[in-house]
Structure 1
Amino acid sequence: MFLEWQQAQSDAYDTMLATVEKTLREPPDARSERRTAWRRCGELGLLGLCIPESYGGGGLGALDTAHLVEAFGRGCEDTGLVFATSAHLLACAVPIATFGSPELRARLLPAMCAGDSVAANAMTETDAGSDIAAITTRAVRDGDTYVLDGAKSWASNAPDADVFVTYAVTDPTAGFLGTSAFVVERGTPGLRVGGPLAKMGLDTCAAGAVHFEACRIPAGNLLGGEGAGGAVFQHSMAWERACLFAGYLGLMDRLLDRCVGHARQRRQFGRRIADFQAVSHRIAEMKLRLEGARLLLYRACFRLDRGDHTAADSALSKLAVSEAAVRAASDALRIFGARGYLVDEGLEAALRDTVPARLFSGTNEIQHELIAKGLGL
């Protein structure tokens, strides 16, 4: 049951937390250091948690994956790295493992799990973010190849990526069934990658535009068959919305621990600030939002493992976690006061890193729509 961890799960969480705190706590300063940190994530198994063991992964289900991503997010202050690895795993490795041909899986997944390659999910376009039906990138079958033309305005990990999972229209008349999913590898003629883009936060996760200009790829790089792009995307988003946001649970745990410690030690007007109801109740609200979001995320993962997951499950989870994370970072700044405004404290970075959680994996406005649709509205 998702409410009770087994001893093996608790031990795995504790081991991952301790290891991450020791080896991956601080953000890297340069691109070469990002690659070193990335390979370390591969050594720890974080890049292949839910990928079959036969391809170098951990073979875990969604709930166990979320537990370890949560430990990663709690122990690592570099939320950009946590996000980058989770996007690599859930939006790229998962669809390849689920929908790729045996040859494609055997060729790409071992390096992706080991940390020898980086993957980017290239879906967002200038006029098509959460709306997959609005994408304009086209793919035309030409013998045993597909020719891709179009541009993706934003792809996390793109400047560093070796593998791109992307989506293109193969039949403009077929609606939902007219979109297909592909894998494009770095070095393919016609592939051009921009960036890194200047962003508000998640600094370690470089992002950039991706352009396809008569980009010819093998037909074997098609995922799930022609017209399956919508299904591939929905499957990857179910995993991403359920498991990626576990990293933000870990971040909120870390912020809560810091606020409790600070409130106990900081004194004003001859008293601990913990004795002021304005402070203690703010911390209590942080705990309330965290635990509510955690239960929704665990339930979404539990149902994903059990096979009765709905889009509303992961939408509720994503919405609750992302909103709680932004509030937690903002509350932490207020509890620490002027000290929290200083860069060296790391709290302003936490706030910058939480704000985009409302935007990626489908905006929170989209999550409200999915929840409403699940209610039959």
Structure 2
Amino acid sequence: MDFDISTAQKKRYDEIFAAARDLGHASVGGHFTREEWRAVACVGLTGLCLPAEHGGTGLGALDTALCIEAFGRGCSETGLVFAVSAHLLACAVPIRDFAADEVRGQLLTGLSSGELVAANAMTEDGAGSDVGLLTATAVRDGDMYILDGEKSFASNGPMADVFVTYAVTDPAGGFLGVTAFAVPRTADGLKVGDPFEKMGLGSCPASRVRFQSCRVPASHRLGEEGQGSAIFQHSMGWERACLFAGYVGLMERQLQQCVEHARSRRQFGRPIGEFQAISHRIATMRQRLEASRLLLYRACWLLDRGRDHVEAASLAKVAVSEAAVANSLDAVQIFGGSGYLTPTGVEQQLRDSVPSTIFSGTNEIQREIIARAVGL
């Protein structure tokens, strides 16, 4: 067992961390721009785990997570980190692994270069955690599919050029009755709603997506009919293992801010970091960060080796997300009144962390997965 990262990994991490500090400023107070997205792509972040022959870097899960961690540590706009991660892990990964050859290369090249933005359209009003209740349908019509239905929460939706979505092709098939598609924004019958107003992750726009007799070429189906549920779970394995590395990076940056503040802020004639009420809080923040980091790295390590990683990814997702919320609450308390004000960025860290316990499968669902894994 070796806990060191290689010289090459450290070099890549440092390069991304340095570049990430210049990213995210254009989207402060609004959604990311196309120029900003292309700047992220120039760093290589939109194609980390995509094949080199299509412009990607060809990294495995652990290396991808390390890069996303560096991105999250350097970039103060966690919404942008989330947007890129969702594009890559929930959308590009299933296209990479399941798209037909005739469209795979075309889409992956654009996704890697940043010319295309992808959105994942799975959640419906009545089918959030219970994906077995999907009502969107897809009916084969010659060399096309006709999609009908509405998706309620598509991150990147307002900016997206391609939507990875899931629809029922066999109502009697249950788990085996769902099929996945990569739908171009230009498809007839695709309607994208206005951006939601959200609590956090503001630089990542999200919206409803409606399919009204939407005609999608059969060549844009991912995998075979009925493989959709398995494809979705495959993408969620990558997302739960890698996306939350961005929050590990956020917690690293946040901890450094808290330490610097505890050293410089003086009360009662001495730095507040000399009071146990502050120093022990910071020590606990460090403990949460390192424990969740190790669980995340382990999940990625298992994924890279083709071993069963489902429970490990759920453990990592719960640990990282709950640590991010708890550490952000502690950060607000350490900064006191100034932590409640927007200029410090501390309150934004809390708002950006709260949704992490909900997306990629709620933490309640993750605990169900963990409970089943231990034999309950």
Instruction: Give TM class, smaller chain.
Output: over 0.9
Counterpart of 1:288?
Answer: 287
1:20 aligns with 20
Question: Hey, what's the Cα distance between the residues in 2 that align with 1:170 and 1:31?
Answer: 38
SS of match in other structure, 2:45: coil
Structure 1 residues 33 and 311, CA, compared in 2 at 3 Å: closer, same or farther?
A: closer
Aligned residue for 2:136? Answer: 137
Measured in 1, the distance between the counterparts of 2:32 and 2:298 equals 36
Runs (4+) of structure 1 exceeding 6 A deviation are none
**Counterparts in 2 of 1:73-112, with a 5 A limit?**
73-112=72-111
Deviation at 1:2, TM superposition (A): 6.2
Q: Structure 1 stretch 304-313 or stretch 119-128: which is displaced more?
A: 304-313
The 3 A distance-change label for structure 1 pair 31 and 251 is: closer
Alpha-carbon distance change, 349 to 312 in structure 1, aligned in 2, over 3 angstroms = same
1:75-101 CA-partner distances (Å, limit 9, x unpaired)? 000000000000000000000000001
Any conservation in 1 of the 2:263–2:271 contact (CA below 8 Å)?
Answer: yes
Query: Superposed, which structure 2 residues align to 1:302-341 within 5 Å?
Result: 302-341=301-340
State how far apart, in whole Å, the 1-side matches of 2:3 and 2:179 are.
38
Other-structure match for 1:370: 369
Deviations 1:93-117 (A, max 9, x none): 0000000011111111111111111
Alignment RMSD (CA, Å): 1.2
Per the TM alignment, residue 309 of structure 1 is displaced from its structure 2 partner at its CA by 2.8
Number of residues of Structure 1 aligned to a counterpart in Structure 2? 376
**Alpha-carbon shift at residue 272 of structure 1 (Å):** 1.2
Q: Which amino acid aligns with 2:237?
A: A
The 5-angstrom pairing of residues 349-364 of structure 1 reads 349-364=348-363
> Are residue 278 (structure 1) and residue 277 (structure 2) matched?
yes
Question: CA distance change for structure 1 residues 185 and 25 in 2, over 3 Å: closer, same or farther?
Answer: closer
Query: What is the CA–CA distance in structure 2 between the aligned matches of 1:2 and 1:105, rounded to whole Å?
Result: 36
Deviation at 1:305, TM superposition (A): 0.1
Query: Equivalent residues in 2 for 1:1-377 (5 A)?
Result: 3-21=3-21, 23-29=22-28, 34-377=33-376
User: CA–CA distance in 1 between the matches of 2:236 and 2:2?
Assistant: 21
TM-score by length of 1: 0.98
Q: Secondary structure at the match of 1:167?
A: strand
Aligned-partner SS, 1:316:
helix
How far residue 25 of structure 1 moved from its aligned partner, in angstroms, is 4.8
Q: 8 Å contact 1:2–1:63 — kept in the other structure?
A: no
Cα deviation digits, residues 171-229 of structure 1 (max 9, x gap): 01111110000011011111000020110010110000000011111111110110000
Gap change, CA 1:208 and 1:366, over 3 Å in 2:
same
Q: Which shifted more, 11-20 or 162-171?
A: 11-20
SS in 2 for 1:181: strand
Structure 1: which 5+ residue stretches go unaligned?
Answer: none
1: distance between equivalents of 2:60 and 2:308? 13
Contact 2:30/2:202 (<8 A) preserved: no
Letter of the aligned partner of 2:260 in structure 1? G
> Counterpart amino acid of 2:214?
C
Q: CA deviation at 1:130?
A: 2.3
Give the direction of change, closer, same or farther, for the CA distance of 1:30–1:334 in structure 2 (3 Å limit). closer
Q: Percent identity?
A: 59
Q: Distance in 2 between matches of 1:267 and 1:115?
A: 46
